[in-house]
Structure 1
Amino acid sequence: MVQESFSSYYFYVLSLLVNKGQRKKLALIAIANELVTQSFAIAKSGRRYDEAYASELPR
C-alpha cells in the first residue's frame, strides 16, 4: 500500500533526526516543511501527481 510506505518513510526520517539529537518538534517541522515544498512543486508544475515520477535534475 502506498500510504504505508509513505508514512513509514517519514517515521524513519523522524527517528533518524531525533536519534541525531534534534528535538522531536523541530524534526516534525522539518518533515512538514519537506511535505509542503513537495506539494507546492506539484501544484506549480501543473502536472497530475505520478507516484512513479523521478526528477531528471541532478542532486
Structure 2
Amino acid sequence: MMLRGDVKQTTQILRRNLKHIRTWLEEEQALSSGHRSAVSEKLKEIEGSMKNGAKLGEKAPEAKPKE
C-alpha cells in the first residue's frame, strides 16, 4: 500500500523526469533543425555555383549588376 507521501514523492519525480525529457527533445529538435538549415544553405550555395558555370571546388563567377 502506498502512503500519501509516497504518491507525492513519485509525482515529483515523474514531473522532474518529464521536464528533463522535454528539454532533451527540444534541444535535439533545435540541433537537427539547425543542422538541416546549414545543410540546405550549403546545397543552395552549391546549386547556385553550378548554375553559374563554376566547377566543383571553385567559386562561382560574380554576377554583373544590371544597368
Normalised to the residue count of structure 1, the TM-score between the two structures is 0.44
| Greater RCO, CA 8 A, separation 6+ | 1
Rg (Cα) greater in structure: 2
Normalised to the residue count of structure 2, the TM-score between the two structures is 0.39
